[in-house]
Amino acid sequence: MKITTIILAAGKGTRMCSELPKVLHKIANKPLLQHVYDMSSQLENNSIKIVIGHCAQLVTETLKDLPVSWIEQKQQLGTGHAVQQVSDQIADTDTVLILYGDVPLLKLATVKQLLSNVNDQSLALLTVNLENPNGYGRIVRNAEGKVTKIVEQKDASASEKLITEGNTGILAVQGDKLKQWLTQLGNNNAQGEYYLTDVIEMAVENGVTIVTSQAETEDEVLGVNDRIQLSHLERVYQQQQARSLMEQGVTLIDPARFDLRGSIESLGQDIEIDINVILEGKNRIGNNVKIGANTQIKNATIGDNVEIFANCVIENAVIGDNSRIGPFARLRPDAVLANDVHIGNFVEIKKSTVGLGSKINHLSYIGDSTIGSKVNIGAGTITCNYDGVNKFRTIIEDGAFIGSDTQLVAPVTVGKNATIGAGSTITRDCPENQLTLSRGKQFTLSGWQRPVKQEKL
């Protein structure tokens, strides 16, 4: 079966009260429209066409990498009018699938089932049974229970308004039939719009059967119209992801306080994640990893037996096996830590490699540096990597010991097993195996007296 998917995404989304077109608003940091695309792109033999209108240019620019055809609907004259814009690109023998760009949680399995209901005598329609069908088109059935038409809320009679089976808007039908019906759409209705839903009645008149199916949950077919619905679907999506991670063996201390805005490409065993952890981008996490509360991780590769304590921010970094990070540590892009590394509180590492078993435990800035193995960096060490214009590298070789409160003015190299005395400002290379320090000499002034404050009378 060859499929043409048409995603309707031309609407403005007035109730979002936003400069941004609705379909670019995000769930899990991904535009609504991208969610719909990602799901439908998993269908084989599928060519995807997206109808855009409001802020069309912004939509295509933002999602320019999607391999789809963009079709502009200059005026939004209704869902039927939107599909008409694509009519000449639909092959007669294609199965046409209609999706909405603002219905982000629709599942592939639901769509596959819908598609399996299409043949040359039937149109497949996804409906939803609602407690409160307000706002939805209603599915009208005859005495035998067969669908005869869809009536929009604004056109519905009092008795039709009582129908609780709603139209999701999602349907599938053969190309030649749809194209023929599209030419017959009128706009003589309460909203003066060309309703796609009118094809249902035409289908029935042509002897085509309407086969209905339902999604698993109402949330799956829920469209986003305002920011309240957006936040609702964000939580639903996050709960689904949390569930799936727990099913794969991850302990989430509280699944309601976990957010994945991206993916975990490789997932080890016995991972424990405390509350308020946010994972973004593409991550890889090894076995026996513990992630403390309030930690934000983006595009990280985390080895086995790693413990990340609370309140860390980690981005584009690699953490080797058996390492310990934080609390309150920041690993910035291109921080690459070997195995058995300890990074403690208030330590920032950027564009640096840290070798096997090295420790940077307190209050340090390490930028543009190459640090060997078994290096100990004392509290308050700063690599002065920037002269205001250029950046320079600091090299600290294996086994070096850097005393506390040292500034290493790059470019500079500290040799193997060198020791730097505390409080030094190092501006030249330090030889191997020796103690180097630069420090004002300590002295005591004898006979000095502290000034005394005169008591006010």
Q: Does 133 bind Ca ion (CB under 5 A)?
A: no
- The CB-of-192 to ligand UD1 minimum distance in angstroms stands at 12
How many residues of this chain bind ligand UD1 (CB under 6 A)?
Answer: 27
Secondary structure (H, E, C), the chain: CCEEEEEEECCCCHHHCCCCCHHHCEECCEEHHHHHHHHHCCCCCEEEEEEECCCHHHHHHHCCCCCCEEEECCCCCCHHHHHHCCHHHCCCCCEEEEEECCCCCCCHHHHHHHHHCCECCEEEEEEEECCCCCCCCEEEECCCCCEEEEECHHHCCHHHHCCCEEEEEEEEEEHHHHHHHHCCCCCCCCCCCCCCCHHHHHHHHCCCEEEEEECCCCHHHCCCCCHHHHHHHHHHHHHHHHHHHHHCCCEECCHHHEEEEEEEEEECCCCEECCCEEEEEEEEECCCCEECCCCEEECCEECCCCEECCCCEEECEEECCCCEECCCCEECCCEEECCCCEEEEEEEEECEEECCCCEEEEEEEEECEEECCCCEECCCCEEECECCCCECCEEECCCCEECCCCEEECCEEECCCCEECCCCEECCCECCCCEECCCCCCCCCCCCCCCCCCCCC
Q: Does 367 bind Ca ion (CB under 5 A)?
A: no
Identify which of residues 167 and 424 has a Cβ nearer to ligand UD1 in the complex. 167
Identify which of residues 81 and 177 has a Cβ nearer to ligand UD1 in the complex. 81
Binding mask 316-355 for ligand UD1 (x = CB under 6 A): ----------------------------------------
d(CA 330, CA 317): 10
Identify which of residues 79 and 322 has a Cβ nearer to Ca ion in the complex. 79
Q: Does 299 bind ligand UD1 (CB under 6 A)?
A: no
Residue 280 binding: pick among Ca ion, ligand UD1, none (C-beta 5-8 Å cut-off by kind) = none
- The CB-of-223 to Ca ion minimum distance in angstroms stands at 4
Neighbours of 190 (CB within 10 A): 11
Q: Does 165 bind ligand UD1 (CB under 6 A)?
A: no
Cis status of the peptide bond prior to 31, with omega within 30 of 0: no
Q: Which residues are catalytic?
A: 362
d(CA 224, CA 160): 25
Q: Does 152 bind ligand UD1 (CB under 6 A)?
A: yes
Q: Does 166 bind ligand UD1 (CB under 6 A)?
A: yes
Q: Does 410 bind ligand UD1 (CB under 6 A)?
A: no
Cβ-proximal residues to 117 (8 Å cutoff; 6+ apart), any chain? 124, 172, 211, 213
Q: Does 31 bind Ca ion (CB under 5 A)?
A: no
Q: Does 169 bind Ca ion (CB under 5 A)?
A: no
The sign one gets for the Cα dihedral 218, 219, 221, 226 is positive
Binding mask 120-139 for ligand UD1 (x = CB under 6 A): ----------------xx--
Residue ranges in 242-271 that form contacts with ligand UD1 under rule CB under 6 A: none
Q: Does 286 bind ligand UD1 (CB under 6 A)?
A: no
Residue 303 binding: pick among ligand UD1, Ca ion, none (C-beta 5-8 Å cut-off by kind) = none
- The CB-of-11 to ligand UD1 minimum distance in angstroms stands at 3
Binding mask 321-340 for Ca ion (x = CB under 5 A): --------------------
Q: Does 137 bind Ca ion (CB under 5 A)?
A: no
Token look-up 């999604």 returns 215
Residue 73 binding: pick among Ca ion, ligand UD1, none (C-beta 5-8 Å cut-off by kind) = ligand UD1
- The CB-of-33 to ligand UD1 minimum distance in angstroms stands at 9
Among 223, 262, 326, 357, binds Ca ion (CB under 5 A): 223
Q: Does 150 bind ligand UD1 (CB under 6 A)?
A: yes
Q: Does 220 bind ligand UD1 (CB under 6 A)?
A: no
Q: Does 9 bind ligand UD1 (CB under 6 A)?
A: yes
Q: Could you tell me if residue 47 is left (phi over 0), alpha (psi between -120 and 50 degrees) or otherwise beta?
A: beta
- The CB-of-230 to ligand UD1 minimum distance in angstroms stands at 14
- The CB-of-48 to ligand UD1 minimum distance in angstroms stands at 15
Q: Does 13 bind Ca ion (CB under 5 A)?
A: no
Identify which of residues 178 and 325 has a Cβ nearer to ligand UD1 in the complex. 178
Residue 196 binding: pick among Ca ion, ligand UD1, none (C-beta 5-8 Å cut-off by kind) = ligand UD1
Q: Output Rg (C-alpha) for the chain, integer angstroms.
A: 31
Among 3, 4, 5, 11, binds ligand UD1 (CB under 6 A): 11
Q: Footprint of ligand UD1 on this chain (CB under 6 A)? A: 8-11, 51, 73, 76-79, 81-82, 100-102, 136-137, 150, 152, 166-169, 195-197, 223
Q: Which residues bind Ca ion (CB under 5 A)?
A: 223
